[in-house]
């Protein structure tokens, strides 16, 4: 009874997933879908005996680390030969014609620009998902791939009992843009393009984060003993009928003219697709003919990629303006005559820094080449010097901050110029406040960029500590803020007083102190007082704290205004020391030991092992030497490390032994959870 209810809910939800993510034609509201999913979740929790690894509930991911296992590919994952001109496509066509000496068809497909994946299905169930890796073996990323809604966990129709299907995991442009906006706000490094974002996401240890990243998957090649047809095009149709997302942009071509028409059509039309493509793939349609043509050492003779040209446009440089970010970094931006590029109108392009401006030898009025390449913002790649009739003023990087007038500085080894006036430069003050209230910092609901701006304009906020002195009547008096919002802000501030110390350190917005570094500092110094008093030497003694960060921390606390802010925050009741629980989660069992981590693990990720070493007084080092105490060795340990360890007599410790050494078993799950 319960079992059939669970199964019917699973089938229903699978169908809705397919309708939504593959067909883009949902037949149920998100609200109803979530309600059904929750119902299924509850039933599964009450009846663990009916657990199914491919239930739709498994798509939400978990925060258990995967520590990817390496898996050998049954069929190696090769790459394709690249061509960049139609002439080279013609050469390929000729080679195939000569090689086969009989009639043949070519299937033209889009070349999706993501990260490749190989999925194994047995009896219609997804068994394993493996990345390309080095082509011979890749990482088992099954848990992460299961979170991708358009990938079927269970197939329908008439599928072979066992097969592999290969395709591309992609991050849609819209998701990519959103993710980068969020990362920028958090001062995290931006992803350069959706391909990097997709492959980075697929390698995350925490599959619930993967689930939130909304990846997609397109599939383009079947492998196995009993495929439905000898024609690749028919196999793709069959795969589509089993539930896979197969691109509509697939065409069987009988001659070069048809191939050329496909290329020209999609070179333009691809700009309207939701995901990135970087070319066309041509494949001989018959699998028998594919076999006859065979492979070279690196790639098949029966397929080739034609890569699209990076899009370029020429336009006029009208002026250069300078933006000041929350950290004070000054970014030069080129203002251009509007020009069409990859489907959007480009009016501005990043000039990155003073060195790049100098290298381009830019003058106002120059005709410049703009490219969208893999970067986030279009960039200027060259100047058309022949087009210079009258030479305009040479672009000179500014010397003073455009917002507050302070003289700009440049840190050694850094390309960027900074405005040092961090406590009195408006975009830096507002930026610091936005950062302070953001989700990963103090997470104060109700205070967004707009409200902060409003409060700043009305002189209610001058500094991050003022956030806690805001009074309800002052807030209500502001025109655009209702009573409800005012109370919301107050409640958000109150709640933020529970935010743990390491996030408070992050929230302060010390230059170069991101989320991870803030955690390291908090655990190393334990209280704000000892962090305030830490010397440069004490700071660089902490793992991963380099000179640049150490100098920035020292400088931050040397400023009396910052000390006053911190003191006020303490008076308002923010957490200014590591909680007791976290202090206790630390141990000394590895004190004084130098430990190398090598190989892949199944119980925790490498990063987690690293944290465990540090949390237990040990030091994680990169290479094996006579000073190495032991190697925490997983599977497939690097051969060089192994050789060196044997030579120096350094012992290997497996993960279970390691965990018992640090007594993880006796520490509570919550204590361990706190560490990551
Ligand atoms: S076929 C043996 N088809 O391009 C060839 N690959 O350089 C199997 N790719 O690793 C690949 N779209 O990641 C094929 N429609 C498509 C593709 C495609 C993108 C990627 C794939 C592969 C790389 C080859």
What's the gap between Cα 210 and its chain centre? 9
**Structure-model confidence comparison of residues 614 and 166, the more confident one:** 166
150: three-class secondary structure by DSSP = coil
User: CB–CB of 330/322 below 8 Å?
Assistant: yes
Provide the H-helix boundaries in 28-129: 30-46, 86-100
Atom of ligand 1 nearest to the CA of 109: 15
pLDDT per residue as tens digits for the range 630-647? 999 988 787 777 888 888
Residue 469 C-alpha from the chain's centroid: 37
* 67/317: higher pLDDT: 317
- The label of the residue with tokens 């030091």 reads 619
Name the average pLDDT for the chain.
Answer: 89
Q: Tell me the three state secondary structure of residue 223.
A: strand
**pLDDT band per the 50, 70, 90 thresholds, residue 66:** low
- pLDDT tens-digit readout, 325-350: 888 999 999 999 999 876 567 899 98
Measured in Å, residue 301 CA sits from the centre of ligand 1 at: 14
> pLDDT tens digit string along 590-599?
888 999 998 8
CATH class of 312-387: mainly beta
Other beta carbons within 10 angstroms of residue 595's beta carbon come to 22
| Closest to 655 (Cα-Cα) out of 622, 626, 633, 625 | 633
498-513 confidence digits (pLDDT tens): 999 999 999 999 988 9
232 CA distance to ligand 1 centroid (A)?
A: 14
Q: Is the CB of 300 under 6 A from ligand 1?
A: yes
Given this model, what pLDDT does residue 342 score?
65
- Specify the pLDDT at position 434: 93
> Distance between CA 225 and CA 161 in Å, rounded?
9
Longest CA span, the chain = 86
Q: Around Cβ 318, how many Cβ atoms within 10 Å?
A: 15
**Shortest-distance atom of ligand 1 to CA 114:** 13
Angle at 407 between CA 403 and CA 410, to 5 degrees: 110
DSSP string, 5-36: HHHHHHHHHHHHHIIIIISS---S-HHHHHHH
Annotated active-site positions, please? 111
74, 75, 118, 221: residue to mutate for ligand 1 pocket, most atoms within 8 A of CB:
221
- Report d(CA 667, CA 122) in Å as an integer: 39
Cα 53 to Cα 65: distance, rounded to the nearest angstrom: 17
Mean pLDDT of all residues in 453-467: 93
Domain 2-60 class, CATH top level: mainly alpha
Tell me what pLDDT residue 674 has.
41
d(CA 25, CA 310): 33
Hey, which residues does 183 pair with through a beta bridge? none
pLDDT beyond 80 at 56: yes
Distance between CA atoms of residues 630 and 639, nearest Å: 16
C-alpha distances in angstroms, 300 versus 130, 304, 580? 21, 8, 60
- Decide: 219 and 244 in contact? Cβ < 8 Å: yes
Query: CATH fold of 72-307, please?
Result: D-amino Acid Aminotransferase; Chain A, domain 1 (3.30.470)
Lowest mean pLDDT among 173-177, 381-385, 532-536, 662-666: 662-666
Query: Is the pLDDT higher at 56 or at 192?
Result: 56
CB 600, CB 57: distance < 8 Å: no
Helix or strand holding residue 239 (H, E): helix 232-242
Q: Which element (helix H / strand E) includes 339?
A: strand 329-341
The whole-angstrom separation of Cα 421 and Cα 404 is 8
The rounded distance, in Å, linking the Cα atoms of 398 and 382 is 21
Beta bridge partners of 303: 283
Contact between residue 184 and residue 213 where contact means Cβ atoms under 8 Å apart:
no
Nearest alpha carbon to residue 544 among 501, 514, 507: 514
Cα–Cα distance for residue pair 425/437, rounded to 1 Å: 19
Q: Which CATH class is domain 426-496?
A: mainly alpha
Question: For the chain, how far is it from start to end, CA to CA, in angstroms?
Answer: 41
Distance in Å, CA 111 to ligand 1 centroid = 6
**Which has more confidence, 188 or 51?**
51
Give the residue-averaged pLDDT of 520-540: 94
Indicate whether residue 280 lines ligand 1 (CB < 6 A). Answer: no
Counting atoms of ligand 1 from 1, which one is nearest the CA of 78?
A: 2
* Non-local CB neighbours of 385 within 8 Å, separated by 6+ positions: 366
Q: Would you kindly state where each structural domain of the chain is located, as residue ranges?
A: 2-60, 72-307, 312-387, 426-496, 501-578, 584-673
What is the C-alpha radius of gyration for the chain, rounded to an integer number of angstroms?
29
**Token pair 């040990």 in the structure block, residue:** 618
pLDDT, one tens digit per residue, over 219-259 is 999 999 999 999 999 999 999 999 999 999 999 999 999 99
**Does any ligand 1 atom lie closer than 6 A to the CB of residue 79?**
yes
584-673: CATH homologous superfamily?
Answer: BRCT domain (3.40.50.10190)
How far apart, in whole angstroms, are the C-alpha atoms of residue 414 and residue 70?
38
Mean pLDDT of 571-587: 84
CA of 76 to the centre of ligand 1 (A): 13
Beta carbon of 164 within 6 Å of any ligand 1 atom: no
Q: Please name the residue that has the structure tokens 């490219």.
A: 371
Sign of the C-alpha dihedral computed for residues 159, 162, 167 and 172 taken in this order: positive
- The CATH number of the structural domain formed by 501-578 is 1.10.150.20
Entry pTM: 0.56
Binding site membership of 112 for ligand 1 (Cβ less than 6 Å)? yes
pLDDT, tens digit (0-9, with 9 covering 90-100), for 156-198: 999 999 999 999 999 999 999 889 888 877 666 778 788 889 9
The reply to whether domains 426-496 and 501-578 share a CATH topology is yes
**Joined tokens for residue 165:** 């299907």
Closest CA to 17 of 239, 171, 220, 243: 243
For residue 505, the SS3 value is helix
Reduced to 3 states (helix: H, G, I; strand: E, B; else coil), residue 581 is helix
Give the E-state strand segments of 91-201 in sequence order: 106-112, 115-122, 125-131, 137-139, 162-170
User: How would you classify the pairing of strands 651-653 and 630-633?
Assistant: parallel
DSSP H helix total and E strand total for the chain:
26, 22
């Amino acid at each position: 009874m319960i079992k059939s209810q669970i199964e019917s809910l699973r089938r229903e939800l699978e169908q809705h997933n397919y309708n939504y993510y593959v067909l883009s034609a949902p037949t149920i509201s998100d609200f109803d879908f979530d309600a059904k999913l929750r119902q299924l979740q509850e039933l599964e929790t009450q009846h663990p005996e009916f657990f199914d690894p491919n239930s739709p509930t498994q798509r939400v991911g978990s925060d258990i680390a995967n520590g990817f296992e390496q898996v050998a590919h049954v069929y190696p994952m090769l790459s394709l030969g690249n061509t960049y001109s139609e002439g080279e496509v013609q050469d390929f066509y000729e080679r195939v014609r000569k090689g086969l000496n009989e009639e043949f068809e070519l299937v033209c497909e889009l070349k999706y620009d993501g990260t490749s994946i190989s999925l194994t299905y047995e009896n219609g169930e997804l068994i394993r998902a493996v990345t390309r890796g080095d082509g011979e073996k890749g990482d088992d990323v099954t848990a992460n791939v299961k979170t991708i809604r358009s990938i079927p966990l269970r197939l329908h129709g008439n599928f072979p009992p066992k097969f592999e299907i290969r395709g591309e995991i992609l991050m849609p442009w819209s998701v990519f843009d959103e993710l980068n906006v969020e990362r920028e706000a958090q001062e995290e490094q931006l992803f350069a393009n959706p391909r990097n974002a997709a492959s980075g996401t697929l390698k995350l240890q925490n599959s619930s984060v993967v689930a939130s990243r909304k990846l997609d998957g397109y599939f383009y090649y079947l492998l196995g003993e009993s495929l439905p047809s000898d024609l690749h095009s028919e196999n793709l149709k069959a795969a589509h009928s089993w539930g896979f997302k197969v691109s509509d942009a697939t065409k069987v071509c009988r001659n070069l003219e048809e191939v050329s028409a496909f290329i020209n059509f999609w070179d333009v039309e691809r700009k309207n697709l939701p995901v990135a493509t970087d070319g066309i793939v041509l494949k001989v349609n018959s699998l028998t003919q594919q076999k006859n043509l065979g492979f070279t050492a690196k790639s098949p003779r029966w397929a080739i990629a034609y890569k699209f040209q990076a899009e370029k446009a020429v336009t006029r440089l009208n002026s250069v303006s300078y933006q000041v970010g929350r950290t004070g970094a000054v970014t030069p931006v080129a203002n251009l005559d509007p020009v069409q590029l990859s489907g959007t109108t480009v009016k501005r392009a990043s000039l990155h820094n003073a060195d790049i401006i100098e290298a381009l030898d830019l003058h106002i009025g120059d005709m410049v080449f703009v490219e969208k390449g893999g970067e986030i913002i279009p960039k200027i790649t060259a100047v058309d010097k022949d087009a210079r009739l009258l030479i305009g003023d040479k672009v000179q990087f500014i010397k003073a901050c455009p917002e507050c007038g302070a003289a700009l500085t440049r840190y050694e080894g850094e390309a960027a110029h900074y405005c040092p006036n961090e406590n009195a430069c408006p975009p830096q003050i507002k930026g610091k406040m936005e950062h302070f209230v953001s989700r990963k910092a103090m997470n104060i609901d109700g205070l967004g960029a707009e409200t902060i701006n409003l409060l700043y304009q009305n002189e209610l906020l001058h500094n991050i500590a003022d956030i806690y002195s805001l009074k309800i009547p002052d807030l209500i008096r502001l025109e655009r803020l209702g009573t409800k919002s005012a109370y919301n802000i107050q409640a958000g501030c109150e709640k933020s007083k529970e935010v743990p110390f390491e996030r408070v350190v992050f929230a302060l917005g010390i230059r170069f102190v991101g989320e991870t570094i803030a955690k390291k500092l908090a655990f190393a110094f334990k209280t704000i007082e000892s962090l305030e008093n830490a010397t440069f030497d004490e700071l660089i003694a902490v793992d991963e704290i380099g000179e640049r960060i150490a100098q920035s921390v020292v400088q931050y606390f040397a400023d009396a205004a910052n000390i006053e802010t911190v003191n006020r925050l303490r008076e308002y009741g923010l957490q200014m020391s590591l909680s007791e629980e976290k202090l206790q989660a630390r141990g000394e069992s590895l004190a004084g030991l130098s430990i190398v981590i090598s190989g892949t693990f199944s119980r925790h990720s490498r990063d987690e092992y690293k944290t465990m070493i540090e949390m237990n007084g040990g030091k994680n080092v990169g290479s094996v030497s006579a000073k190495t105490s032991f190697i925490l060795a997983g599977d497939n340990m690097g051969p060089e490390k192994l050789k060196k360890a044997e030579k120096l007599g350094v012992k290997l410790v497996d993960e279970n032994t390691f965990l018992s050494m640090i007594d993880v078993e006796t520490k509570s799950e919550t204590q361990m959870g706190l560490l990551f």
